[in-house]
Chain A
Amino acid sequence: MDIDFSEEQQMIVDMTRGMLNEHSSIDVVREMEDDPKGYPDALWKQMSELGLNGLLIPESYGGGGQTLLEAALVYEELGRALASTPHFVSCVIGAGLLLEAGSDAQREEWLGTIASGDAILTLAWLEPDRGYSQVGVAMQAKSDGDGVVLSGVKRHVHFASSADRMIVLARGDAGVDLYLVDPNSDGVKLTHQLSQGSDCQYRVDFNEVRVPSSARIGAAGSGWTSFDKIMHDGIILLAAQAIGGADRTLLETVAYAKERVQFDKPLGAFQALAHYMADASTAIEGGRVLVHEAAWNRAQGRSISRLAPMAKLFCCEAYRETTRACAQIWGGVAFTIEYDCQLFFRRAKQLQLSWWDTPYLEERVAADVLDG
């Protein structure tokens, strides 16, 4: 039993943190807020050059061939920096789905360019007034000759304006299918939407969009199984991201609590406030181990059907609660735009609501524990 990083893993952490300090400072993060493109080119280029975009892609496709554990270390740093990048939708979900179910041709065409950052994939999954489960996918893929026709609306499509392809979840004759769709296709309309976390997301209207059968990823009707599997990988990384954000919020708040004097004492000398920070640190330290355990199990080829939802459920709540408690310590300045506390507070809640929210994760855990 050993929860320390290897030398190589520590190097990945140091390298990522150093690069993000330079290319994803708080000023950069603020510039990207509500931006219709949503990510800085310099940051994206650096991530590609350091091999972070290809981290999970096999070496044979030009990637780094690392495991989910190394990716979790990177995601804690991305969360710490509030880095605004399409990495998750492109390099984790997009590349993951192609690796899981893509044809040789699809992998050849996309994996190398995803790794190099030259191509960006995104995911068109959620629909208005529909949930996270399989029944939430209502968009019909109507067969038409040697292709399908897609009509409907998708929301929360991240970085859609920069994407070379969207992976669209739609219901075909055999069940849910995944299609690679060019956002520039006839009948696709993108509308930039503003979110709580000021990230880059779009509503995408599909009006009789024709795609060829060859654009389908995997066998007919297998889309949901592939998607569900890759989402388990994805939520472990988002849990790591949450821990990174929570940890930075706490550390910056601790530093403030040592300096800021009220009633002739530093804020940190008040037990009421010190105890908020002690609770937050306990949740963060435990959550981090849970993330690593989940990622490590995945890297060992073991089931993560229970650990992955637990990790996101716990870590996102820890992030939200840490930012709430820290806001109490910052006091009135916490809710001014000038101070950074609000950046983390908003993103914490948005992350909790996104990519499987609390009720859905609770149900996943309960199902695994009670119905298995």
Chain B
Amino acid sequence: MDFDFSPEEQKFAEEVEQWLVDNHDPVVMDPTRENFTQLADTPERRAFMKKLAKKGWLGMSWPKEYGGQGIEGVYEFILNEALARHAAPQIGKGVGIIGKTLIRHGSEKLKKEFLPKILAAEVEFAVGYSEPQAGSDAANMQLKADKVDGGWNLNGQKMWTTSAHFADWYWVGARTDPDKAKHDGLSLFLIPMDHEGLEVQSLPTIGKDTTNQVFFKDVFVPDDYLVGTRGRGFQYIAEALDLERFTLFTLSPISERSRVLIDWVKTARRDDKPLREDPNVRRLIAHIATDTALARCLSTRFLCAAKAVNGKPPSVESSQYKLFTTTLSQRVCKDALDITGAAGQMREGQDDAPLAGRFEGAYRATMNETVGGGSSEIQKNIIARRHLGLPKNF
């Protein structure tokens, strides 16, 4: 048993840390926005991603033949955690979901076309799984893909596609075989976002992000842009979601939130007394610190499981990690507002907002964490069935 990183991993962590200090960019690394910079499409962010690409830090765990370094995923974990700690954009779904799925299942043509662009940070993706009638129940997608000469004709609607308003390509699930069982009738496609017949309508959310609904009207996709095997889409999605939980729900934003809150409590005063002397505040802080340590343990467990199975996504460990950390993330924000009291309601930019309104904003933004990427209830179903062997319950 060994809870430390290896000397090589530790050296890499130090290298990343130093690089992030040397390449500090106040626009990209805005601490009040935390990891949500991922969703802000600014020239600074694109430039920053290119810098990461130049360092060779995108796709490190990819096999060498596809331009990766063939090293363990723990290096991507270390990088992602450091990026999140510095409130910088993370390596993202191009590397983690699309790239890895293409490497596993994509045709040579798709690999050749997309993998180099992903590694060079030259392409942005949107992921389209959810629909008005298919959120957590991804197998219930209804977007129609009818077989036509040389390709497919797509008609229908997607919901909750977060980066559709600036992405270059759409990674989208559609029903190719309506007569087959729900799970076996889906396929994945890659479609240029500016394709004729695609209409993106933005939906503002209570956080700072925009999400989108996307309408498909006779969108033609050539056969070449069907990913992998027809009818295997749901299996690819399930596999990629396991990866997404790891790459998108990093621990650092939560650890950082806990640290920022604790630092503030150490010096804040109320009614002429140090706030840290308030027994209720001490109790809340004790649980935030303890549960943050627990979240780290679940991430360690996930990381070790990912190492042990040679790249196969460890779904139970990732579900337990996601379930616990997203709930904790919301609770940290809620507790922070309770600790700041009435002033906590002031929004970012208001002079009187404690902690620059950071927790007020985060409180709203974290609402999607226990819903997106597979809701908490879906995670519990996965744990119940795959870990505890309980009978199917839906």
Q: Report which A residues bind B (CB closer than 8 A).
A: 1-6, 9, 69, 250, 254, 257-258, 265-266, 268-271, 274-275, 277-279, 281-283, 285-287, 289-290, 292-293, 296-297, 306-307, 310, 313-314, 359, 361-363, 365-367, 369-371
Query: CA A285 – CA B299 in complex, angstroms?
Result: 11
Query: CA A368 – CA B380 in complex, angstroms?
Result: 33
Residues from chain A with Cβ under 8 Å of B303 in the complex: 1
The answer to whether A297 and B1 touch (CB under 8 A), given A286-B301, A366-B283, is no
B1 engages A281 (CB within 8 Å): no
Interface residues of B in 370-394 (CB under 8 A from A): 377, 379-381, 383-384, 387-394
Nearest B residue to A2, CB-CB: B2
Contact with A along B76-87 (1 / 0, CB 8 A): 000000000000
A274's contact among B2, B304, B384, by CB below 8 Å, is which? Answer: B384
Pick 5 A–B contacts, CB within 8 A, sort by A: A2-B1, A274-B384, A314-B290, A362-B282, A370-B282
A370 engages B262 (CB within 8 Å): yes
Interface-side segment among B3-11, B47-55, B128-136, B144-152: B3-11
The answer to whether A289 and B298 touch (CB under 8 A), given A1-B74, A274-B384, A281-B383, is yes
Residues from chain A with Cβ under 8 Å of B2 in the complex: 1-2, 296
B393's contact among A269, A282, A287, A366, by CB below 8 Å, is which? Answer: A269
Query: CA A234 – CA B286 in complex, angstroms?
Result: 20
Query: CA A277 – CA B290 in complex, angstroms?
Result: 22
Residues from chain B with Cβ under 8 Å of A275 in the complex: 377, 380, 384
3 closest residue pairs by CB, A with B: A268-B390, A289-B297, A278-B380
A271 engages B298 (CB within 8 Å): no
A6 engages B393 (CB within 8 Å): no
A286's contact among B3, B283, B320, by CB below 8 Å, is which? Answer: B320
Query: CA A26 – CA B394 in complex, angstroms?
Result: 36
Residues from chain A with Cβ under 8 Å of B307 in the complex: 1
A sample of 4 more A-B contacts (CB under 8 A), given A1-B74, A293-B3, A369-B285, is A268-B384, A286-B295, A369-B286, A370-B276
The answer to whether A310 and B384 touch (CB under 8 A), given A1-B303, A366-B283, is no
Q: Report which B residues bind A (CB closer than 8 A).
A: 1-6, 9, 74, 262, 265-266, 276, 282-283, 285-287, 289-291, 293-295, 297-298, 300-301, 303-304, 307-308, 317, 320, 323-324, 377, 379-381, 383-384, 387-394
A254 engages B389 (CB within 8 Å): yes
Residues from chain A with Cβ under 8 Å of B1 in the complex: 2-6, 9, 69, 292, 296
A314 engages B380 (CB within 8 Å): no
B285's contact among A270, A290, A361, A366, by CB below 8 Å, is which? Answer: A366
Q: Which of B289, B291, B317 has the most CB of A within 10 A?
A: B289
The answer to whether A2 and B298 touch (CB under 8 A), given A282-B383, A366-B286, is no
Query: CA A258 – CA B388 in complex, angstroms?
Result: 10
Residues from chain B with Cβ under 8 Å of A359 in the complex: 283
A370 engages B265 (CB within 8 Å): yes
Residues from chain B with Cβ under 8 Å of A286 in the complex: 294-295, 297-298, 301, 320, 324
Residues from chain B with Cβ under 8 Å of A306 in the complex: 289, 293
User: In angstroms, how far is the closest chain B Cβ from the Cβ of A290?
Assistant: 5
B3's contact among A1, A254, A367, A371, by CB below 8 Å, is which? Answer: A1
Nearest A residue to B385, CB-CB: A274
A1 engages B380 (CB within 8 Å): no
Query: CA A278 – CA B380 in complex, angstroms?
Result: 5
Residues from chain A with Cβ under 8 Å of B301 in the complex: 3, 285-286, 289
The answer to whether A274 and B282 touch (CB under 8 A), given A282-B298, A289-B297, is no
B6 engages A290 (CB within 8 Å): no
Q: Which of B1, B283, B308 has the most CB of A within 10 A?
A: B1
B297's contact among A6, A290, A362, by CB below 8 Å, is which? Answer: A290
Residues from chain B with Cβ under 8 Å of A363 in the complex: 282, 286
Q: Which of A270, A274, A281, A363 has the most CB of B within 10 A?
A: A274
Nearest A residue to B263, CB-CB: A370
Query: CA A217 – CA B262 in complex, angstroms?
Result: 39
Query: CA A359 – CA B286 in complex, angstroms?
Result: 10
Nearest A residue to B297, CB-CB: A289
